[in-house]
Structure 1
């Protein structure tokens, strides 16, 4: 007991009673009363540890992270030996997004109690939020070493292993979590996701079905089941379940809210004005913009809101008014998220609108690029190929879909092509590898938008790309394109086929086993060898 407490108690004998009342009020979840009692105590004893800790914990329970941090910081200062105070401070800091400070607080707590499983687990969660996945995995492993039955650590260990692109190990972690908590819908859904990543969509669907049976309104399970159905070509249940995306954590805050009703194909649209709005990545917009002219041919006035980087490319679409995201919208009667278009049209495999080209490079850009590159740089007399070997590093599936440029060295050494990089974002190791490939002309840094990319593609004979927007662009332009895919590819590429109903000029090369890019690269060399006799004249 502090000297200040003794002195205050001598002057105000009811302090101990106030503290008991505050604790009782907290335990009875009378938080307002508990806060008032804590405040009364702190008027007399401003550094009373137990009261500061209790007040901070009340704020933490009520989601008042700023107030919790203030009270718990004072509590830690009043008693630096308290494991709980340091741990709760870490939790409040994590909730407030102050991740580095949260890590420091948890480390302080672990200095006092190095084997505390809950603190190790919470530290792992902060590391995961901070993208320090190696540290996160180590923290979860330490948690489980001290408490093998910690379900959260099993689950988040699996989540971390997925970030390492280790779905088989993640699946094992989820399976062990399900032994401890067999009916948990999130764990069942995570297991299904790992199975999808292992190209086992039928088994994934079984896991999602159990999750939905346990929790019928669990959005993540429905959305994941949509991806599995679409991968299998089961479009009717797939596109229907795809609408659950708006209730998932990943999409809930991205849903557009309009006073006009959403259109999903159930009402006639002739004579109406409809807004189609882009919702995901550039490639998604390029792929599904094909539905806009169909709406126009149905008698609707069509407005398409798209990313600004696509404006000049998409503006010439027949019968469609294109506007940029973030700008003022013209009046409209109905709206439809772009990736809900297949559902609205009742799209099946056999009815995919697959006529290409449905996009074209602006003629003035093509002329500019032909003049800019010149005959020598264009490699007149040789076939021309454009390459994209990696996607955006920020993409959640980047580790699975991208190829380090250095792995393509042998391919470039033996290609009788004029080779051009269309890679706009480039990692430092790839920049270094590019320096050692003089035969690969880097155009990526010169491409200002997708119209530039389309213009360059129009001057090429073939495009080779991993699963990025450039692959979609080449397909939409009707250009021969070889798309390099991981073993478990995105749902739109289906399974067990080397063609795609979305792009008739595309050839798909898939990893035969998880992580096997060498076989893909070998197949690519064979695939494009037949083009060596193309004249290259354009």
Structure 2
């Protein structure tokens, strides 16, 4: 062994022992003797990276690349240094070069995945971690990183499968158990998540995060007492942490104890002044009480708690300035029901003098909204953006108009389906006997707490056995699978393929509804559609409704033709259906 190799061996021994100063001295001595000794320079760059001397490490690795451009390890470590220094593009290029030189370089794939993950490009991170795992299947850390990236990419079922596999190899692992419970919650597998959290709580009874998560899940399934108990325990464990108070506020809100709910939301905000979720919850609690003006500002925090980033549109933000002679583009967000509910404010801006009102809406609503005369242009995602004097989120308009319960623009109808489709359904329905009653029972399954607002179709069986009415299915996309099991038990008429039930078409739904005597619906977009059309609509509401339906009232300030039927006990729809049946008998008798 020559003298240089002896010195490198001694330096590496110091390096591996954590004696970095001694190792650096020897590496530098070798380089002073021979500046082209790439091994010493490579190890020195690695040492500098360990010390956090990133700029010097990058310079050193670049020197090694000049000497040995075909070494994949050098490019990989250079990528690590670039990543640590926040130089994302250079890091990616270095990792990719390492992989080009060695297509089986597991660590370079792992590091490239880590780079994508840190930048929020989770789909690409998944690909890299998957490749790294394929190259080294026994590496549990890589497998867990793959599961984490899948979780962040929204591929929760795949992440769940991997967490379960990892827990077989590492039974009882706390971190893995927490992650498994989390993806179960995301998939609304609430009961298994509760069981998992409760089992973990037996081992760690004062674990704050478990208690906070447990209170959230209990509130999601409507177990008010358990949600309150878990939230109060989390506050006892960590009285200066805001999440427990926020969860306790949600549980009290579910109990209709709105004063205690508001008090806890305010406490959460006092502990974390920029707590968007608590501000939003406090705002919607005020709005549920009918105090819209005090709620609109906090309602603006909805974009800060959304799963997807807020969209940006060109042009100055409208904040209530006069619009006479001006153009404004209003962009829609959240669900179809929100767009239909707030569409009245686009019409209101036109009535207040806006020269041009443009609405960027969901593609499923575009054809119907084109029928609104006050809207000058309907846009869909991907359409060229016309220049406008202002832009604003549609749901933010009432904030700037300082809308109260008394000033809601409530004139209906403000929607009109295409005349030819309306006439088509009129002709088709004319052959059916009895009063024509539309039925909608299920909302979008991705909607938060959809389980609490949607109603099993079989709950409506008593209505379908009446001979003086013809029930007509208005259901589209979700909930259709419930029809087949009941098709021989009652009188439920299903529109043909032109209704596009499998894919959804709001123009067809509107045209059909326009020809009905009554619509009976859960709290879905159909409720807003029927109300916007000015058709009589009976809306069946969960014990804790959305803020727009308020509490106690049987009518709605948003829709003059709406009547509200409310649960007394969360999850119990039978008394609500009985109330609907009684009212239906009286209505038919009076007609």
Q: Is the 8 A contact 1:487 1:510 kept in 2?
A: yes
Alpha-carbon RMSD: 3.7
Q: For residues 323-402 of structure 1, what are the structure 2 equivalents within 5 Å?
A: 323-326=378-381, 327-373=383-429, 375-377=430-432, 379=433, 382-402=434-454
Pair 1:420 & 2:494 matched: no
Pair 1:243 & 2:300 matched: yes
1:201-221 per-position Cα deviation (integer Å, ceiling 9, x unaligned) = 322211111111111112111
Q: TM-score, normalised by structure 1?
A: 0.83
CA distance in 2, matches of 1:482, 1:358: 19
Secondary structure, aligned partner of 1:452: helix
Aligned to 1:3: none
CA distance in 2, matches of 1:152, 1:61: 28
Q: Is the 8 A contact 1:462 1:480 kept in 2?
A: yes
Question: 1:275: how far off?
Answer: 0.9
Q: Is the 8 A contact 1:424 1:444 kept in 2?
A: no
Secondary structure, aligned partner of 1:312: helix
1:326-382 per-position Cα deviation (integer Å, ceiling 9, x unaligned) = 112322110121111211211111111111122223221111112234x323x2xx2
The structure-2 alpha-carbon separation of the partners of 1:60 and 1:311, relative to structure 1 and needing over 3 Å to count, comes to closer
The structure-2 alpha-carbon separation of the partners of 1:29 and 1:408, relative to structure 1 and needing over 3 Å to count, comes to farther
Question: 1:280: how far off?
Answer: 1.8
Secondary structure, aligned partner of 1:316: coil
Match of residue 372, structure 2, among 298, 317, 321: 317
Aligned to 2:564: 508
CA distance in 1, matches of 2:6, 2:211: 48
Q: Is the 8 A contact 2:212 2:231 kept in 1?
A: yes
Q: For residues 471-490 of structure 1, what are the structure 2 equivalents within 5 Å?
A: 471-490=527-546
Question: 1:482: how far off?
Answer: 0.6
Pair 1:171 & 2:228 matched: yes
Pair 1:296 & 2:350 matched: yes
Aligned to 2:93: none
Match of residue 225, structure 1, among 273, 282, 298: 282
Question: 1:158: how far off?
Answer: 2.7
Q: Is the 8 A contact 2:328 2:389 kept in 1?
A: yes
Q: Pick the structure with greater CA Rg.
A: 2
Match of residue 17, structure 1, among 1, 14, 18: 14
In terms of mean alpha carbon deviation, does 444-453 or 273-282 score higher?
A: 444-453
Q: For residues 81-120 of structure 1, what are the structure 2 equivalents within 5 Å?
A: 91=148, 94=151, 103=160, 106-107=163-164, 110-111=167-168, 113-120=170-177
Q: Is the 8 A contact 1:406 1:433 kept in 2?
A: no
The structure-2 alpha-carbon separation of the partners of 1:528 and 1:298, relative to structure 1 and needing over 3 Å to count, comes to same
Matched pairs, number:
509
1:11-65 per-position Cα deviation (integer Å, ceiling 9, x unaligned) = 93444432344899899766896998xx68x99xxxxxxxx99x97999699556
Secondary structure, aligned partner of 1:299: coil
Question: 1:271: how far off?
Answer: 0.6
Q: For residues 186-225 of structure 1, what are the structure 2 equivalents within 5 Å?
A: 186-225=243-282
Question: 1:100: how far off?
Answer: 6.0
CA distance in 1, matches of 2:188, 2:240: 29
In terms of mean alpha carbon deviation, does 405-414 or 458-467 score higher?
A: 405-414
CA distance in 1, matches of 2:435, 2:278: 47
Secondary structure, aligned partner of 2:284: helix
Secondary structure, aligned partner of 2:471: strand
In terms of mean alpha carbon deviation, does 446-455 or 511-520 score higher?
A: 446-455
Q: Is the 8 A contact 1:117 1:144 kept in 2?
A: no
Pair 1:121 & 2:178 matched: yes
1:263-311 per-position Cα deviation (integer Å, ceiling 9, x unaligned) = 131x211010011121121111111111222211222121122222222
Q: Is the 8 A contact 1:26 1:58 kept in 2?
A: no
Question: 1:444: how far off?
Answer: 7.7
Pair 1:495 & 2:556 matched: no
CA distance in 1, matches of 2:339, 2:589: 35
1:138-161 per-position Cα deviation (integer Å, ceiling 9, x unaligned) = 332232222222222222223333
Q: Is the 8 A contact 1:174 1:190 kept in 2?
A: yes
Q: Is the 8 A contact 1:60 1:92 kept in 2?
A: no
CA distance in 2, matches of 1:396, 1:135: 18
Q: Is the 8 A contact 2:219 2:250 kept in 1?
A: no
CA distance in 2, matches of 1:239, 1:300: 22
Pair 1:409 & 2:461 matched: yes
In terms of mean alpha carbon deviation, does 85-94 or 226-235 score higher?
A: 85-94
Question: 1:518: how far off?
Answer: 1.1
In terms of mean alpha carbon deviation, does 390-399 or 66-75 score higher?
A: 66-75
CA distance in 1, matches of 2:162, 2:445: 30
Aligned to 1:46: none
Q: Is the 8 A contact 1:116 1:146 kept in 2?
A: no
Q: TM-score, normalised by structure 2?
A: 0.76
Q: Is the 8 A contact 1:269 1:300 kept in 2?
A: yes
Aligned to 2:332: 278
Which blocks of at least 5 consecutive residues in structure 1 are unaligned? 1-7, 44-51
1:431-464 per-position Cα deviation (integer Å, ceiling 9, x unaligned) = 2343134411012854242222122112111111
Question: 1:531: how far off?
Answer: 2.6
Aligned to 2:512: 456
Match of residue 432, structure 1, among 461, 481, 484: 484
1:164-210 per-position Cα deviation (integer Å, ceiling 9, x unaligned) = 34344233222222211112223322322233233333222111111
The structure-2 alpha-carbon separation of the partners of 1:328 and 1:106, relative to structure 1 and needing over 3 Å to count, comes to closer
Q: Is the 8 A contact 2:129 2:143 kept in 1?
A: no
The structure-2 alpha-carbon separation of the partners of 1:26 and 1:216, relative to structure 1 and needing over 3 Å to count, comes to farther
Aligned to 1:5: none
The structure-2 alpha-carbon separation of the partners of 1:263 and 1:454, relative to structure 1 and needing over 3 Å to count, comes to same
